[in-house]
């Protein structure tokens, strides 16, 4: 609309605001805001407004105006009926809210991404792979401990023995395809039932073929077993101190246990047994000494050389002194084995006849003698002469009271040691004995006789 003064008659529904001072001539509109002389003008004249009166309908008084047809627009009212949208308070996120939402979204995205990555990695592989050497050739050099064990284990067995009052565990090894197995006498002594378990886990019942307490050796036999793997027998005369050896057994019933060491000494005089008190169960062994760990349950197991040949039968260990408070029952590195040459001869006799023979010289020794050497007693236990008439010693010229100090040039320090040296040979072997008599040494030659073992 053009900016011009309104001269048209005022609408009939206009009304004067309350509190308007003065009146205005009929037909004169109110001044426009901002015009000279309008209310709020800074001039000295007071603002003048026009009072407009509406004609009253017929039958009504001026004081009683007819009801208005709805709300009227009052240009002087404080608030108009229509509200103009001026933009107002806009909705949405402010800057800090956007930042918070962004950080939260980033954290969530990072966590979700990490979880998805882990899940993807787990699904892409069945297991976590760490660096590892490739599978190599499982074969071992025949002379290595592993190679010796692989060769010998199929021929080593574990024996579970049950007696009238107790039982025990020992070891043995296969001698031949007929099922003969060599072990220690003290493993099967008093046995009522013998079970043999092979390295494969198969168990069968065995029967006793023969045993000898003097050599602490025994042979049992299994039947109906195919694929037996006899061990090769070596020659104990070839053994030297320092040679590597491997022992196989069942210490504390731990079958197929393999230990290794060296030959610590040869020709060790070892005695064991003697539980009966009369000496009939004492075993005398010219033993091989080894530091390969041997424990209860190893008895009867093989001692093998670098070619997996049996050179000894593990039989005894030396523990700490009985009165030593630190005494231990297991191995302290002092193990003893019966030389295989002796074991072979005894095994052959046990398989053939059920009994073994012992080489003898035909004397009774004074076991209470404390001097150096083995003294021939004055009398036998039954009162008979200590030198058997017509026996090997009598034929060689040995007399009662003689002290035997050497056997084939090897020093003898006591009666037990003399018996060990003699039993290391076969009946019929020829030995040279050094005898001290009346302060003089004599050299005598004796041919060993034979006696049945126990």
Concerning whether 186 is annotated as a catalytic residue, the answer is: yes
Identify the three-state secondary structure at position 352.
Answer: helix
Contacts of residue 374, Cβ cutoff 8 Å, sequence gap at least 6: 365, 403, 404, 412, 414, 415, 417, 418
Q: Would you call 216 a catalytic residue per the annotation?
A: yes
Active-site entry in 186, 309, 358, 425: 186
Q: Do 357 and 450 form a contact (C-beta atoms < 8 A)?
A: yes
Q: What is the dihedral of CA 396, 397, 403, 408, to 10 degrees?
A: -30
In sign, the C-alpha dihedral spanning 401, 407, 408, 411 is negative
Residue count of the chain: 454
Catalytic entry in 216, 281, 286, 366? 216
Could you give the CA distance from residue 58 to residue 66 in angstroms, rounded to a whole number?
A: 11
Q: Tell me the C-alpha distance between 196 and 384, whole Å.
A: 46
- CA-wise closest residue to 357 among 369, 345, 374, 365: 345
- Looking at residue 43, the DSSP 8-state letter turns out to be S
Rounded to the nearest 5°, which phi and psi values hold at 151? -75, -40
Helix (H, G, I), strand (E, B) or coil at 349: helix
The residue annotated as part of the active site, out of 299, 315, 331, 386, is: 299
Whether 124 is catalytic: no
Separation between Cα atoms, residue 55 and residue 66, nearest integer Å: 11
CA atoms of 439 and 431, how far apart (whole Å): 22
**8 and 27 in contact (C-beta within 8 Å)?**
no
CA–CA dist 249, 158 (Å, integer): 7
Contact assessment for residue 246 and residue 291, using Cβ atoms and an 8 Å cutoff: no
| Distance separating the N- and C-terminal Cα atoms of the chain | 149
Among 45, 3, 9, 56, smallest CA distance to 30 is for 9
- 3-class secondary structure, 102: helix
Q: Which positions are catalytic? A: 186, 216, 299
């Amino acid at each position: 609309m053009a900016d011009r003064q309104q001269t048209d008659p005022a609408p009939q529904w206009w009304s004067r605001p309350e509190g308007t001072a003065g009146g205005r001539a009929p037909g004169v509109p109110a001044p426009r805001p901002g015009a000279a002389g309008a209310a709020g003008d800074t001039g000295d004249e007071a603002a003048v407004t026009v009072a407009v009166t509406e004609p009253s309908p017929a039958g009504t008084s001026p004081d009683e105006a007819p009801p208005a047809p709805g709300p009227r627009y009052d240009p002087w009212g404080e608030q108009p009926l229509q509200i103009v949208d001026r933009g107002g308070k806009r909705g949405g996120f402010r800057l800090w809210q956007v930042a918070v939402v962004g950080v939260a979204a980033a954290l969530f995205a990072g966590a979700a991404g990490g979880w998805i990555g882990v899940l993807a990695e787990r699904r892409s592989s069945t297991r976590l792979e760490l660096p590892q050497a490739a599978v190599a050739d499982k074969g071992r050099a025949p002379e290595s401990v592993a190679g010796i064990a692989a060769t010998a284990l199929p021929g080593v067995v574990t024996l579970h023995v049950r007696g009238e009052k107790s039982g025990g565990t020992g070891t043995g090894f296969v001698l031949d395809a007929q099922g003969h197995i060599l072990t220690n006498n003290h493993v099967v002594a008093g046995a009522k039932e013998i079970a043999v378990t092979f390295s494969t886990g198969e168990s069968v019942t065995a029967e006793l073929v023969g045993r000898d307490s003097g050599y602490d050796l025994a042979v049992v036999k299994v039947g109906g077993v195919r694929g037996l793997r006899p061990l090769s027998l070596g020659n104990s005369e070839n053994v030297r101190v320092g040679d590597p050896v491997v022992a196989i057994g069942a210490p504390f019933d731990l079958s197929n246990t393999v230990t290794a060491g060296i030959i610590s000494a040869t020709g060790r005089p070892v005695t064991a047994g003697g539980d009966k008190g009369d000496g009939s169960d004492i075993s005398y062994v010219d033993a091989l000494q080894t530091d390969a760990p041997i424990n209860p349950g190893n008895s009867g197991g093989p001692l093998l050389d670098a070619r997996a040949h049996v050179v000894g039968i593990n039989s005894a260990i030396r523990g700490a002194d009985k009165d030593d408070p630190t005494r231990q029952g297991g191995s302290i590195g002092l193990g003893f084995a019966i030389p295989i040459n002796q074991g072979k001869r005894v095994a052959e006799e046990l398989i053939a006849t059920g009994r073994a023979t012992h080489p003898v010289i035909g004397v009774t020794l004074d076991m209470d003698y404390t001097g150096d050497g083995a003294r021939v007693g004055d009398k036998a236990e039954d009162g008979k002469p200590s030198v058997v008439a017509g026996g090997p010693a009598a034929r060689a010229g040995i007399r009662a009271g003689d002290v035997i100090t050497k056997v084939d040039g090897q020093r003898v320090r006591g009666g037990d040691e003399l018996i060990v040296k003699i039993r290391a040979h076969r009946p019929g072997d020829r030995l040279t004995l050094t005898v001290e008599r009346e302060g003089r040494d004599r050299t005598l030659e004796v041919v060993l006789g034979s006696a049945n073992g126990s």
